[in-house]
Amino acid sequence: MYISRKISAGIATGILVAGMVGGATPAAHSSDQHVDSDGVSSVNLPEMDSRFLLKAPEAPEGKQWYKGESLRETATDIDNGATVYLNPVTIGLCNAGFGDKKVKTFNSKNDGEITLYCGDSNSGYVHIRERHESQWESQKGGFEGPWDDYMAFATQASLESPAYSAEKPSQKRCYTTPIEVYEVVNGAPVKKKTINPTVMISMNNKKVITSYPTTTHRC
């Protein structure tokens, strides 16, 4: 996926001429859920070993689980539409310097619709990639999907279902929520760790300023 995204980014200029923007939405699937001994709802994944999943426990049912690239073709029983795969064509537009292009729009608990724009070195996708890509990569904990799909899922969960949010100076608000990383061992998810990403938005401009992974949030 990451390689194909880079290839797609390289041909973005040609795609611009044709005006081909937009992507397919991954198919939704049903889930087989149970509650672990620690009270965390989880999902049975038979015949899958050494795989990684993400869960946003504060998110509503149907938007909690996210699977990585290696599971996209094989995991058919964990996705209720929660996947947030970014469109590689749009990322190509970011690479081509279209700062006002929308990468993803999220619903937030306190501030309505919030958009992640391509942006620049100061805010948006380009800023997050320049300043925090290595942090997202290092925090994945074995998760096999692209760093920016991971980031988008964590950002969406934090904005839509925050465990905590706080207003900041200059019309900003900080959001966070726990994101649990699971490894599927012998068909069952085993929790490896929890991160609490820090997501900062502009309240008046309705846009994502930054999003980075932190063990303890900085809100």
Secondary structure letter of residue 188 according to DSSP: E
Rounded CA separation 130/125 (Å): 9
Q: Tell me the average pLDDT across 87-107.
A: 94
- Crossing angle for the helix pair 88-95 and 2-10, nearest 10 degrees? 50
d(CA 102, CA 94): 9
Q: What is the DSSP letter of 158?
A: H
Percent of the chain exceeding pLDDT 90 equals: 49
The model's pTM is: 0.73
Q: From CA 115, how far away is CA 62, in angstroms rounded?
A: 22
What residue ranges do the domains of the chain occupy?
A: 2-23+33-212
Per-residue pLDDT tens over the stretch 161-173: 999 999 999 999 9
pLDDT category, 190, cuts 50, 70, 90? confident
With CA atoms as reference, report the closest residue to 81 among 44, 41, 31, 32.
31
What average pLDDT does this structure show over 35-46? 34
Phi-psi region of 186 (alpha: psi -120 to 50; beta: other; left: phi over 0): left
Does the pLDDT of residue 184 top 50, yes or no? yes
pLDDT digits (tens, 9 = 90+) for 111-163: 999 999 999 999 999 999 999 999 998 887 666 678 898 899 999 999 999 99
Residue in 133, 215, 131 with CA at minimum distance from that of residue 181 = 215
Residue 16: Cβ within 10 Å count: 15
The length of the chain is 219
CA distance 141 to 138: 7
Task: Select from 62, 67, 54, 31 the least CA-distant residue to 178.
Answer: 54
How far is C-alpha 30 from the chain's CA centre?
A: 20
The pLDDT tens digits for 52-82 are 788 999 998 878 888 764 433 333 344 444 4
Find how far residue 72's CA is from the centre of its chain. Answer: 15
